[in-house]
Amino acid sequence: MQKLPKIKDFKAPDDYFNDLPDAVMDRINIPRSSNWMKYAAASAILVVSLAVWQFNIQDSQFETLAMDEEVNFYIESQYWTAEDVLSMVDNPEEILDQIIEEEMMYEVDVVDDNDQYWY
């Protein structure tokens, strides 16, 4: 060991470790205000939620149309009678009124303008 050269002891400058955290923080450039990131994230969440909502609405409309077609199939194939359909409805009077109204519209369309002076 005597052949190895003597190394001087390393000595830190005065108050080096006290000032070290401040010196490190000064060298790091962290953007303090990132408000645009908050707004971008909020708008992205809004766009995604609107897209999901629209998709669910379109999906439920498709199910309603499919159900209407299925009901029409059962009625046309005479698997269900008119009484069966009316018994499944909460308010059968409302459906009967709607059917009568639709039939009245067709009867009014058939009447000719010259026929109104029949007397």
- Tokens for 57, please give them: 């609405």
**Tens place of pLDDT for every residue, the chain, 119 residues?**
677 777 777 788 888 888 888 888 888 866 666 677 888 888 999 999 988 888 776 666 666 667 778 877 887 888 877 778 777 778 878 878 887 887 777 655 555 555 565 55
Rounded to 5°, angle at Cα 95 from 108 and 91: 150
Rounded to 5°, angle at Cα 33 from 28 and 35: 140
Per-residue model confidence (pLDDT) at position 102: 78
pTM: 0.27
Distance of CA 62 to the CA centre of its chain: 16
